Amino acid sequence: MKLLLITTIKEFEKNVKNLLVNSGVSVFSYTAVKGYKADQKATVDNWFAAEITESNSLMFMAFVEEDRIDHIYAKVSTFNTKQEFQSKIHIATLEIEKSI
């Protein structure tokens, strides 16, 4: 079993829920989080070079059987390649040593 973590912008909420359910993940949790990105590049428009970008984001969490993980990663990758937005769905998995 693995802990699946997905972060995404609020606009992709329905897409992630559908992706999880259609991948056989029927139990998951999610919460609103504030996404943060510091752009350190100085530009003509931003010569102070410390612009901070915040976005309304979501974090999804689920305990997932290992045999479903690759399928979920493939679906996220397919979704991301079709997007015209800069923002993508981000996914990570962690090993679970023990659980009750």
Report phi then psi at 17, rounded to 5.
-60, -45
Could you tell me which residues come within 8 angstroms of residue 22 by beta carbon, excluding any fewer than 6 positions away? Answer: 75
The tens place of each residue's pLDDT in the chain, 100 residues long, gives: 999 999 999 999 999 999 999 999 999 999 999 877 766 555 555 555 556 677 889 999 999 999 999 999 999 999 999 988 778 999 999 998 888 8
The answer as to whether 9 is a domain residue is yes
Range of the domain at 68: 2-56+63-95
The answer as to whether 100 is a domain residue is no
Instruction: Report the CATH number at residue 83.
Output: 3.30.70
Q: What pTM did the predictor assign? A: 0.82
